[in-house]
Amino acid sequence: MTWVLDLTGIFVFAISGALAGVRTRLDVVGMAVLAFFTAVGGGILRDVFLGVQPAALHDAGYVLVPLVAAAIVFFWHPQVTRLLPSILIFDAAGLGLFCATGTEKALLFGLSPLHAVLLGVVTAVGGGVLRDMLSGQRPTLLYDRQLYAVPAFLGAFTLAALFEFGVRGPLAVLAAAVLAFTLRFLAMRKGWRAPLARGVKDSA
């Protein structure tokens, strides 16, 4: 079940990576690279920091699903772009899921709650940051003022808190993921924005 959810999240993130590739006019190789690292880059960073071989190197789905997503975008990107609003919903679901599973994995490796929350956020947002850096752009995460890392942080925090109180396993993951997803969804809906330092004008 987690595995299916995981691959769904990876698929959606890969679609977003491949679409970024179309926007910046990459060729087919660039689209595949961007789809792959957007989808599994966050998990790779988490696992490299934990000092273990990335899960993406032990599961064929983690490689094949991004390639399928890239192929779909390659042939049908106008249609996919039209579905973007619903894709953003799935992206929010992926964000929620990855911040929860990333935090859980870090806790199971014995990290402190503080550091597990950090790695949970890295898992959720790392792929998007790599996507932007590989596209030669500033990571949108850092300046676009959308609440993206903040819902991931609150989801990761929730999972760590539940874990410390002994609530573990799929239920805790689900609760944390739903919380992060809901916050992300509301942030998009209501146009909530992250603050800038005093006196700084918006760069968008």
Segment 133-172, which members bind a copy of itself (CB under 8 A)?
133-139, 141-145, 148-150
Q: Could you tell me which of 4, 202, 165, 181 has the C-alpha nearest to residue 88?
A: 181
Total binding residues for a copy of itself by CB under 8 A? 64
Q: What are phi and psi of 12, to 5 degrees?
A: -65, -45
C-alpha distances in angstroms, 96 versus 8, 10, 73, 121, 178?
A: 12, 12, 24, 10, 6
190 touches a copy of itself (CB under 8 A): no
Among residues 1, 4, 25, 189, which is the contact residue for a copy of itself, using CB under 8 A? Answer: 25
49 touches a copy of itself (CB under 8 A): yes
Q: CB nearer to a copy of itself: give 189 or 203.
A: 203
Among residues 17, 30, 42, 120, which is the contact residue for a copy of itself, using CB under 8 A? Answer: 30
99 touches a copy of itself (CB under 8 A): no
Rounded to a whole number of angstroms, the CA Rg of the chain reads 16
Q: CB nearer to a copy of itself: give 58 or 190.
A: 58
Q: Which residues contact 180 (CB under 8 A, 6 or more apart)?
A: 95, 96, 99, 100, 124, 151, 152, 154, 155, 156, 158
What is d(CA 180, CA 91) in angstroms, rounded to the nearest whole number?
Answer: 11
C-alpha distances in angstroms, 144 versus 98, 141, 162, 191, 195?
A: 21, 6, 31, 12, 10
Find the shortest distance in angstroms from Cβ 131 to a copy of itself: 11
Q: CB nearer to a copy of itself: give 58 or 189.
A: 58
What is d(CA 32, CA 74) in angstroms, rounded to the nearest whole number?
Answer: 9
87 touches a copy of itself (CB under 8 A): no
22 touches a copy of itself (CB under 8 A): yes
Residues of this chain that bind a copy of itself (CB under 8 A): 21-22, 24-31, 33-34, 44, 48-54, 56-58, 60, 63-64, 73-75, 77-78, 111-112, 114-115, 118-119, 129, 133-139, 141-145, 148-150, 193-203
